[in-house]
A = this chain, B = another copy of it.
Amino acid sequence: MCLNFYIYTNTDNMQTSTTEDYLKAIFKLSGIYKKGVSTNSIAEELSTKASSVSDMVKKLSEKKLVDYVKYQGTTLTKEGENIALKVIRKHRLWEVFLVEKLKFGWDEIHEIAEQLEHIKSPKLIDKLDAHLGFPKKDPHGDPIPDKNGLFPTIKKLKLNELKIGEKAILTGVSEDSKDFLSYLDTIGLKLGSSIEVLDYFKFDKSLKVKINNRSDLTFSDLVANNLNISKEN
């Protein structure tokens, strides 16, 4: 007979990248009204199975990163939310780096930032922040949490909220699927691009718009609804 005494010095609060992915997913799915996130939705967000999620949230719960009640979904604890916000901060700062410094296109950066966001270094991200000039928004227009996890408040206006004749500049997008982003690249729409609403077709809520001096573009309501803008002064 033999007893193994393993001493696992789990003394620090370092998270695995899987843990970070779960927390980020739960944060994203929590929305404004922070009610329990369903096991299935987490599974879908992370491209995994409900049974895996069920296992995992139980473990996260033991680590006090989420509150989890069987059959009633999962919410982040304060600690869990802090970690999620740090990961989001890192993700978005790296995205700025990839676009601004390395000249990547919008549609190429997400997967790379998914990896970079897990790099562990207290100093690195703040130095990167400084190097980038303390940006407030990522290339998709999403706000970058500060060191304390606070979002700069940016009032978002959607393109389909404009009236005919109004002009605005693109400040971001709400949807970051590869298809959508590469579509924007194709038509030459970029962060800061000027957009003018030329016409509005009531029957399908589509918009005729002018971008970069081209007036031959029409956006479906779905597209317009995913374009964040701010009105030109």
Residues of A within 8 A of B (CB): 98, 101-104, 108, 111-112, 115-116, 119-121, 123-124, 127-128, 131
Task: Determine the distance from Cα of A103 to Cα of B123 in the docked complex, in whole angstroms.
Answer: 11
What is the chain B residue whose CB lies nearest that of A115? B119
Task: Determine the distance from Cα of A102 to Cα of B102 in the docked complex, in whole angstroms.
Answer: 14
What are 5 A-B contacts with C-beta separation under 8 Å?
Answer: A98-B124, A104-B123, A112-B121, A115-B120, A115-B121
Task: Determine the distance from Cα of A119 to Cα of B131 in the docked complex, in whole angstroms.
Answer: 20
What is the chain B residue whose CB lies nearest that of A112? B121
Chain B residues with CB below 8 A from A111, complex form: 121
Shortest CB-to-CB span from A114 to chain B, Å, is 10
Chain B residues with CB below 8 A from A101, complex form: 101, 131
Task: Determine the distance from Cα of A121 to Cα of B98 in the docked complex, in whole angstroms.
Answer: 12
Chain B residues with CB below 8 A from A103, complex form: 127
Chain B residues with CB below 8 A from A120, complex form: 115
Given contacts A104-B123, A115-B121, 15 further A-B contacts (CB under 8 A): A98-B124, A101-B101, A102-B124, A102-B127, A102-B128, A103-B127, A104-B127, A108-B123, A111-B121, A112-B119, A112-B124, A115-B119, A115-B120, A116-B116, A116-B119
